[in-house]
Amino acid sequence: MVKVKTLALSVGAALAWGTLGSAHAATTTQQVADLKAQVAELQQMVQQLSSQQQSQAVQLQQQAEIAAAKPAPVVAPVAASTKPGWITLPDGQTQLKIYGSVRVDAAYDFDGTNSSTTYANKTGSVPLNKANATKGALNTTAATSRIGLDIVRPTEYGDLTGKIEADFAGSSDNNSNGSFRVRHAYLSLGKWLVGQTTSPFVNTDTAPDLIDFTGPMGTGTQRNVQVRYTQPVTTNQKLLLALESGQITEEDNTSTGGKRLPAVTARYDLATADKKGLLQLHALAHENRVSSNDNNDEEKWGWGVGVGGKYQLTSQDAIMANYYHVKGDSKYMLYSGQGNSAYATTLSNGDYNIYLSEFDTAQVGYQRKWNSQWRSTFSVAGMKFKDDNAYARANQSNNKTLYNAIANIIWSPVKNLDLGAEYTNGQRKTFAGDKGDINRVNLMAKYSF
């Protein structure tokens, strides 16, 4: 503004000077008067321009003060996703999803029954044939119903996820009024997971789809509190490593010691590029310990290895197979704790001795989707305990072999509703040579949401 005013005055002065010179030379009074009028008009224009610039400067200053006084607009956080069926909380980021199933089961055992007979399969503890046990038993329950909640929230380190899932099957011997139990309760961020969920040692991903609530022999569903790390190796391969809870289990009841160290479990996944095939390798190691006092202590390590696979032959056909070798454990693999334990103990000269059980278990299965409403599963599985060791010699009434063969049919007349029937035939044989048979039919109605 100052520069414009100065320039205008300079121009005016120059014109005035030139005009005075011309007037003196020409001595024409009218010309001098005209030039003076032009100079006055130019000065007036400069003053108007200066006033406009001053007014604009004041307006800009006022607008800046008003803008500074206003709070910055609040930008709503972006939700992690917009998944159908998920609920977004008021913070705009945390999302929840409720899921579960309403389920009713019925099981009828045709052969010998005892107090351990429930809606769950008890191939490993059915009465021996020589016991002449009562035949025929019907068991029904709705305790297999479950409820779950998935949680997700974005963070600068990736999505923070959590899961809480529970059912009412905490007491499998109480058919009508099962106790509430936690199945899953964990949080995960990035490659880390902390909480209770399925152990990497067991093979739920390669197990067949059965109606019986126990699950297929030759597989496992054990859920432990754990700290787990997952490391992707390639697009189709990953490694899982976990430290799992080492709390006292059934076979530790004779001791006051219990496990001191967590179990170590691992799983390696290899999937085909088209995701039709999956191969999993499993490993386990944990401490077995008995102790009557600090000077009378015995420990031996239990361990196990396994391999499982599943392949989708066509859009309607799939096959699966699983194999494990386990020593000194009866917790992870289904049926291994029915009639057997992880170890046997003796007390000699005031000292404990531990005799570890050892077994192999295998399962093969085939799943068929007949059409959009009907599907079936066929499974054959067995378990064989080593019979030439100290454990077998000390436990002649325990199981040496188990097997069962299962076939089912499931009808889904509408979405999320399953109605199924399943037949199981099986047998257990003890180290002493005694046998017990199982023949049962399972019925199920389940609505998933």
pLDDT in tens, 315-358: 999 999 999 999 999 999 999 999 999 999 887 776 788 999 99
Q: For residue 282, what are the β-bridge partners?
A: 267, 306
Q: Which two tokens stand for residue 121?
A: 């399969």
Its pTM stands at 0.79
Q: What is the pLDDT of residues 350-401, one digit of tens each?
A: 678 899 999 999 999 999 999 999 999 999 999 999 999 999 999 999 999 9
**SS3 assignment, position 285:** strand
Rg (CA), the chain: 41
Flag whether pLDDT at 197 surpasses 60.
yes
State the Cα–Cα distance between residues 367 and 316, nearest whole angstrom.
8
The CA distance from 400 to 402, in Å, is 7
**Spatial separation of the C-alpha atoms in residues 246 and 260, rounded to whole Å:** 7
Q: Which amino acid is at 442?
A: N
Query: Contact 304/201 with Cβ under 8 angstroms?
Result: yes
Spatial CA neighbour of 12 closest among 34, 38, 32: 38
Reported as a pLDDT band with limits 50, 70 and 90, residue 179 is confident
Confidence of residue 220 (pLDDT cuts 50, 70, 90): very high
Closest CA to 174 of 141, 223, 220, 137: 141
132: left (phi over 0), alpha (psi -120 to 50) or beta: left
Q: Rounded to an integer, what distance in angstroms lies between the CA atom of residue 154 and that of residue 159?
A: 4
- Mean pLDDT within 445-449: 98
Band the pLDDT of 17: cuts 50, 70, 90: very low
**What's the CA gap between 70 and 138, in Å, rounded?**
74
Backbone φ/ψ region at 169: left (φ over 0), alpha (ψ -120 to 50), beta: alpha
What's the average model confidence in pLDDT over 99-116? Answer: 92
Superfamily of 102-142+189-448 according to CATH? Porin (2.40.160.10)
Give the Cα separation of 199 and 302 in Å (integer).
Answer: 16
Nearest C-alpha neighbor of 97 from the set 89, 106, 105: 89
Closest CA to 120 of 223, 222, 212: 212
425, two tokens: 């035939």
Domain range list for the chain: 2-69, 102-142+189-448
Q: What is the pLDDT of residue 322?
A: 98
Summarised one tens digit per residue, pLDDT across range 291-316 is 777 777 888 999 999 999 999 999 99
pLDDT tens digit sequence for 49-83 = 667 767 776 677 777 666 666 555 544 444 445 67
C-alpha dihedral, 412 to 418 to 423 to 427, nearest 10°: 140
Which residue's entry shows tokens 């103990």?
345
User: What is the predicted pLDDT for the residue at 115?
Assistant: 78
Element (H, E) at 346: strand 343-348
pLDDT at 14: 43
Helix then strand then coil, in percent of the chain rounded to 5, is 20, 50, 35
CA distances from 64 to 59, 68, 157, 308 (A): 9, 6, 38, 70
For residue 376, give the DSSP letter: E
Give residue 231's pLDDT: 98
The one-letter code for the residue type at 409 is I
Short-list 39, 27, 112, 23, CA closest to 438? 112
**Quick count: other Cβ atoms within 10 Å of Cβ 139?**
19
Between 51 and 429, whose confidence is greater?
429
pLDDT of residue 15: 40
Q: Per-residue confidence at 36, pLDDT binned at 50, 70, 90?
A: confident
In this predicted structure, the answer to whether residue 253 has a pLDDT above a threshold of 80 is: no
pLDDT one-digit tens code per residue, 116-157: 788 999 999 999 999 999 999 999 999 999 999 999 999 999
